[in-house]
A and B are shown apart, each in its own frame.
Chain A
């Protein structure tokens, strides 16, 4: 059974750094073709792809957010970590992590709502 679950703060202040952790089970991020990515969704708005980490450890980021995002992994813990700097109220959103395999996001976490407010 494949599961993913996001964890981290629900409230951050403007200019602070957000760190979210995706803990997954039921698959290996070392398997060729597997990636784990982050997608966010502001309240009432569309999904936005943020970035992902590939099975070999390479990363790809959304061009519009590349300067503020870092995605890393801890293979011993089956975790993928998203770090986003200089948070702004417009970054208030539900943040999802999802596995991508066979060119689709086939398993998603339940999402975690992060509010940016002073």
Chain B
């Protein structure tokens, strides 16, 4: 299984919106709604921000939202804040009953 494809980096100014894409195949993203997104500031463990495509865990700001179309999932962060600067990873369940992560996207708030 190959890693899901994410852009290496995205950037935005405070208050703006950014969208991070996550492209898989019909064997993973395209087959299930079991897509989740993780935020990882430097030196820390990942934290789930979105699961099942568009569900926010308790405590995650509603500025974070998720969607999916076909083999591509997306994470949108609106009203960017400096504290959002981190690496973001998507993950998907696969038809092989395994999990796969994306290559990660570095978000810079300029």
Contact = CB atoms under 8 A, between A and B. Distances in A.
The size bracket of the interface on B is 20 to 34
Contacts of A104: 34, 36, 48, 51-52, 57, 91
B101 A48 contact: yes
Nearest to B101: A47
A47 B45 CA distance: 10
Interface string A82-118: 0000000000000010001011111011110000000
Contacts of B101: 39, 46-49
Interface in B86-104: 89, 91, 93, 96-104
Contacts of B98: 49, 51, 60-63
A105 B102 contact: no
B69 interface: no
A64 to B, nearest CB: 8
Given A60-B98, A63-B1, A47 B36 contact: no
A72 B59 CA distance: 33
Contact of A106 (B1, B40, B48, B97): B48
